[in-house]
Structures are given as structure tokens and as C-alpha cells.
Amino acid sequence: MPRLAQTIGPCSDRHRVRLLSAATPADPRAAARAIDAMRRGWPIAIRGGEGALSLLAVETADAERLAAFDPHIAAPLLISAGRAVTLKLTNQRDAAVPDAPVMIARRPWLDFDTAVALADPQLDLSTPMKGPFRATAALVPDAAAAALRLARIAGLLPAFFVHPEAPGRRIAEAITLADIDSHQDPARLRLVTRARLPVAGAEDAEIVAFRTPESPDEHLALLIGQPNGAPPLVRLHSECLTGDVLGSLKCDCGPQLHAAIHAIAENGWGILLYLRQEGRGIGLVNKLRAYALQDQGFDTVDANVRLGFAVDARDFGVAGQMLRQLGQHRVRLLTNNPDKVAGLAAAGVKVVEQVPHRLPPNPHNERYLATKRDRTGHQL
Ligand SMILES: Nc1nc2c(ncn2[C@@H]2O[C@H](COP(=O)(O)OP(=O)(O)OP(=O)(O)O)[C@@H](O)[C@H]2O)c(=O)[nH]1
Ligand SMILES: [Zn+2]
């Protein structure tokens, strides 16, 4: 059964969307299905305020899938504003909204491989000849922005082939922006299980797992020691597989993780939240792409932007939700990052003290730490 009810009689699209959204509750499972479909190379559709877009993610497409999606070579390519800046298409986009996504018109010569080179900045050095391109502000800009957001959530490059909804041909299966918001809503997190977990540095520890019904990622809390009436010493640790597991020297995550466990154990009581926000929320593969750009000379900030992502895509509301479910509304926070303090406050958890969490640099992470200090407001 189609999710979107039929409307009766003539009415404007804007009016119709309002009617439909009033009638249709947000469906986080519809967003989960779209994320899954994107990862498998299937088209998805997103409805915004001025219509809907049908979208095929560049990263999981191939020439055959593109030909099936767009037999007439008419589907423009949707890219982020950050990518448009690198491609020097900024004079062709909507100057009033500099962060708005951009669409590049397709031409017969703009084939699948060219689209991949447009989407992926890692290829800029090997394929420097591009264009001429005709770029415009994205059609249905809110749906276009939502598509880029969904690509980030799925851990894919933010680039799509796009078909706008044609007049009289309604895309019935389109998900809505509210579906995506509800999929990402930290209020959907549930405490699912807990068990004793002695760890190196803190034998008196308990692990608590949280998840939503739709997301494959489980966020974890490690409760260390016994509550003593004082606000717990808390560390928000964002996942870093390369640093946490492989001992990468490019960042300070591994040493920070272990130092946090020791500091909390020494304090007598506290909580380490292990948040599944790999790569500051862009996912492992996109973080490794950012590392490849860093190998070309870009710093951690510029690498994210050139890929088409925000410098930091994390939502610390997840941490606030977990702490509140654990009954903690006032914490001492181990961090050098003022955004974490603000993020917790916005989520209803008061940071009564910010405790610095600085680890000595090594020759491989010196520049990374300097960039955090100089460009992202870390107190280092
Ligand atoms: N996108 C991206 N993510 C990175 C990079 N280096 C580390 N990360 C991720 O950054 C997150 C850790 O964040 P940091 O900025 O080091 O520290 P912080 O957590 O913001 O701040 P502190 O609490 O002061 O440590 C982890 O998810 C890492 O995977 C990078 O170069 N690019
Ligand atoms: Zn790291």
C-alpha cells in the first residue's frame, strides 16, 4: 500500500505536502529502508517542500545501473556545495545560499566514470581535466540537502544522479524529511542490555548497550566504579577504529580512550560513552578518504569539506540521551572540545566542570592536533 494518501480535488503541491505530512506520521523505518537501498545501489526517492527527487547514489551505481535509471542521459548530478567550490562551480550556484547543494547538467560525454571523478576528490590529481560543466542551484533544495545527509549517514560519498518528479507523475514511495529526522532522533535510543565487564585499568566496570530499532549501530556506556553522590566524571569518546583498535598514530584517540578509563577509575566513579560516530560522523570509509586527501597535503578540516561534509557531523544529543537514561543530569566532562559541552547542555545535561584531556603529541599527529587547536576551537 502506498504510504502517501491520495488527495482529492485540485490543490497546490505545497498544500498537498502539508496535507500529507499531517496525515502521515514520520516513519523512521522508511528512512532505514532508503539507507539500505542506497548501500545496495538501488534508487531512492525523497520528498521535499516543492516536490520529490528520485536519486541514484554515485558510489554504489555502475554504468549499467545508471543506464537503467537514466536511459536518456538527462539526470543531473547532485553534489555538495563544498565539492562545487573545489570544482570551481561556485559562480554558477545560488549565491544567496552558499551551502546549498548544486546540480550539474548531464551531457552525453558526462558518463559514469566522469561522474565518479566529479564525485570523488581523491581522483582530482589523476583526472585534472574536467568540464565545461553547467551547474545550477539544486531543484527541490530541501530534498537535495536531505539526500546528501542520507549519504553521510550511509557512509557514502555525497553525490547522486537525480530525476525530479515530473508534472502529473507522482513518486509515491518517496520518504520525507520527517522520516529522516525521526530515524536520527536520539529520543529513539533504548537501553537494551547491561553486563559486568572488567577492563584493563578498571576491573569494577559494567557495560550498557543502547540502540534504536532502525539503526545497526549500538552506542555503549562503560560505567566505572560506584556512584558516590557526586556528578560522574564522563568522557564522550567518538569511535575511531584506526586509533582505538589499530593503534594509529595519526590521531590521539587511542591514548585518549585508555587515559579516560584510567582517569575515571582513579576518580572512583564515572562513565565512558563509546559513541558510534566514526570519523566525526562521516563513517570509516569516508574518514579514510579524508586521510587520503591529507596524504595529498590537505588538513583534517579541508579534507572533510572537499569531500562534501561538514567539518564535524556529530550529534552529541545521543550522548545526552544516554546519560539521562542512566539518571545523570550533571557531569564533569573530560574534553578539550567546547562543542561537546554545548551539545550536552542542549540535550539537557549540565556540565558542572570541563576537565582537560590532553595527551602528548607524536610526530604523526602534531599537525592534526595543531589544526584542532587553530581551526576547530579545541583547547589544546
Ligand atoms: N573525518 C575525520 N575524522 C577524524 C579524523 N581524525 C580523527 N577523526 C575522528 O574524530 C573523532 C575524535 O574526535 P577528536 O576531534 O579527535 O576529539 P574530540 O572528541 O572532538 O575532542 P576531545 O574531547 O577534546 O578529544 C573520532 O570519531 C575519529 O574517528 C580526520 O582526520 N578526519
Ligand atoms: Zn582517531
In this prediction, residue 77 carries a pLDDT of 96
| Statement to judge: residues 65 and 128 lie in one domain | yes
| Statement to judge: residues 261 and 359 lie in one domain | yes
Span 344-351, average pLDDT: 97
Does 129 score more than 70 pLDDT?
no
Span 322-338, average pLDDT: 97
Helix (H) / strand (E) element for 7: namely none
Contact of 87 with 132, CB cutoff 8 Å:
no
In this prediction, residue 91 carries a pLDDT of 67
Q: What percent of the chain has pLDDT over 70?
A: 92
Does 309 score more than 70 pLDDT?
yes
Span 182-210, average pLDDT: 97
254 found inside a domain:
yes
In this prediction, residue 380 carries a pLDDT of 79
Strands 219-225 and 269-275: antiparallel
Contact of 83 with 117, CB cutoff 8 Å:
no
> Which of 28-32, 135-139, 257-261, 358-362 shows the lowest mean pLDDT across its residues?
135-139
Residue 240 CA: which ligand is closest?
1
Which grid cell is 94?
Answer: 545560488
Contact of 183 with 32, CB cutoff 8 Å:
yes
| Statement to judge: residues 258 and 336 lie in one domain | yes
Reported in sequence order, the residue ranges of 212-355 that DSSP labels E, i.e. its strands, are: 219-225, 233-238, 269-275, 330-334, 350-355
- In Å, how far are 78, 115, 121, 128 from 109, measured between CA atoms? 17, 10, 20, 16
Does 7 score more than 50 pLDDT?
no
In this prediction, residue 132 carries a pLDDT of 86
Domain with residue 212: its CATH number is: 3.40.50.10990
| Statement to judge: residues 78 and 202 lie in one domain | no
More confident residue, 206 or 95: 206
Amino acid making up residue 220? L
138 found inside a domain:
yes
Assign 9 a pLDDT band (cuts: 50, 70, 90): very low
| Statement to judge: residues 198 and 345 lie in one domain | yes
Which residue's alpha carbon is nearest to atom 1 within ligand 1? 279
308 found inside a domain:
no
In this prediction, residue 12 carries a pLDDT of 41
Span 214-231, average pLDDT: 95
In this prediction, residue 13 carries a pLDDT of 43
Does 241 score more than 70 pLDDT?
yes
Helix/strand/coil for 79:
strand
Domain with residue 54: its CATH number is: 3.90.870.10
Q: What percent of the chain has pLDDT over 90?
A: 77
71 found inside a domain:
yes
Rg (CA), the chain: 23
Which residue's alpha carbon is nearest to atom 3 within ligand 1? 279
Ligand 1 atom at minimal distance to the Cα of residue 334: 23
Active-site residue set: 312, 314
For residue 317, the CA-to-ligand 1 centroid distance in Å is 17
In this prediction, residue 23 carries a pLDDT of 59
Does 278 score more than 60 pLDDT?
yes
Which residue's alpha carbon is nearest to atom 4 within ligand 1? 279
Give me the residue label for grid cell 537525480: 162
Span 73-79, average pLDDT: 96
| Statement to judge: residues 160 and 203 lie in one domain | no
286 found inside a domain:
no
Assign 22 a pLDDT band (cuts: 50, 70, 90): low
Contact of 339 with 315, CB cutoff 8 Å:
no
| Statement to judge: residues 340 and 226 lie in one domain | yes
Strands 330-334 and 135-137: unpaired
**Spatial distance between the Cα atoms of 153 and 373, rounded to a whole number of angstroms:** 27
| Statement to judge: residues 234 and 362 lie in one domain | yes
Domain endpoint, select from 136, 167, 183:
183
Domain endpoint, select from 183, 217, 252:
183
263 found inside a domain:
yes
> Which of 1-5, 14-18, 237-241, 312-316 shows the lowest mean pLDDT across its residues?
1-5
Domain endpoint, select from 153, 183, 213:
183
| Statement to judge: residues 191 and 339 lie in one domain | yes
Please report the ipTM that was assigned to this predicted complex: 0.98
Which grid cell is 146?
Answer: 536531505
In this prediction, residue 377 carries a pLDDT of 84
Does 245 score more than 70 pLDDT?
yes
In this prediction, residue 93 carries a pLDDT of 65
338 found inside a domain:
yes
267 found inside a domain:
yes
| Statement to judge: residues 163 and 109 lie in one domain | yes
Helices then strands (H, E): number in the chain?
Answer: 15, 14
Helix/strand/coil for 164:
strand
Span 192-211, average pLDDT: 98
> Which of 35-49, 74-88, 276-290, 363-377 shows the lowest mean pLDDT across its residues?
363-377
For residue 117, the CA-to-ligand 2 centroid distance in Å is 28
Q: Ligand 1 pocket test: pick from 280, 333, 369 the residue with the most ligand atoms within 8 Å of its Cβ.
A: 280
Assign 130 a pLDDT band (cuts: 50, 70, 90): low
Ligand 1, residues at Cβ distance < 6 Å: 238-240, 251, 253, 256, 277-280, 282, 287, 290, 300, 304, 335-337, 340, 357, 372, 378
Could you list the residues known to form a binding site, using ranges: 235-240, 251, 253, 256, 278-280, 300, 335, 340
Does 74 score more than 90 pLDDT?
yes
Span 129-154, average pLDDT: 91
What's the gap between Cα 115 and its chain centre? 22
Count up the domains in the chain and report the number.
Answer: 2
Find the domain containing 65 and state its range: 28-183
| Statement to judge: residues 273 and 334 lie in one domain | yes
Assign 97 a pLDDT band (cuts: 50, 70, 90): confident
| Statement to judge: residues 175 and 191 lie in one domain | no
